[in-house]
Amino acid sequence: MSTLVKSTTRVAQGWLKRVQHTSSALGGIPSVFAIYQPDVCTFRKLPVVYWLSGLTCTDENFSQKAGAFQAACDHQVVLVMPDTSPRGDGVPDEDPKVYDFGVGAGFYLNAITEKYKKHYNMYDY
């Protein structure tokens, strides 16, 4: 898996990074996750909390709205915030004008129907 750091921001005695990558579980399309790492993690391993956002959210929702970085630093916890839906070319039903349970809905299972199983393997992801 190749990765590309899209941004790095200093926050709450640590670093917030947004990282683009490709995943076969998402049909090989690019996806983004955010990760907050307190400075102390450069010296030792820390526990990780995976935050799975819900309906219409991206990897940025939690990092922009929750205000959790200081608490994560204080308790020495790494935060990982993946996008919970595939996005991009070839993803079925991706129409920005239609608000429904498609892209951005926060699915956490693998799809079994032919139309969706190439990109919606969110449990595996």
Q: How many domains does the chain have?
A: 1
Nearest to 85 by CA among 63, 54, 61: 54
* Token digits of residue 50: 């995976």
Predicted local distance difference test score (pLDDT) of residue 112: 85
Residue count of the chain, please give it: 125
Per-residue pLDDT tens over the stretch 15-31: 999 999 888 878 788 88
CATH of the domain at 33: 3.40.50.1820
CA distances from 98 to 1, 17, 115, 121 (A): 32, 30, 18, 22
Question: The pTM is what?
Answer: 0.80
Query: Domain span at residue 36?
Result: 1-125
> Residue 1 — very low, low, confident or very high, per pLDDT cuts 50/70/90?
low
Question: Taking a C-beta distance cutoff of 8 angstroms, is the pair 56, 26 a contact?
Answer: no
